[in-house]
A = this chain, B = another copy of it.
């Protein structure tokens, strides 16, 4: 944990930027959040801890966290973006129920293998990926009967 924060500090400094309390607040918060989050989630969680951070600062910090490899944008729904912590996370896919909005994470190492192959074949540099599957979950399937 301490290392993650030190690493981010170094990342920021290496870019010639300033390491501020707001940037650290956002980092600490995303490390505590489970599952997926959006900007509002972070904002209100921080507000509840008496942080004086603005949404603008969150919006300005997220790209840094993405660039540093801590988080990733995983999907957009109802017009806004959802992120997740990718740090130390295994490759997985998202099953999104369009009826109730529930999101299932499913691990599958074959997916990672498949993507790595394409990366090599096409001579890309892979930065991130995500597989979203939209459907109707078993609960909602029952409810619709």
- Chain A interface residues (CB < 8 Å from chain B): 76, 93, 95, 97-98, 104, 106, 108, 110-111, 114-115, 118-119, 122-138, 141
Contacts and interface: CB of A to CB of B under 8 A. Distances in A.
B115 A133 contact: yes
Contacts of A93: 115, 118
A98 to B, nearest CB: 7
A127 B110 contact: no
17 contacts: A93-B115, A93-B118, A95-B118, A95-B122, A108-B114, A110-B114, A111-B114, A115-B133, A123-B138, A123-B141, A124-B133, A124-B135, A124-B137, A125-B135, A126-B133, A127-B134, A131-B131
Given A114-B111, A122-B95, A134 B141 contact: no
Which 8 residue pairs are nearest across A and B when measured between Cβ atoms? A123-B138, A129-B133, A125-B136, A131-B131, A124-B135, A126-B135, A127-B135, A127-B134
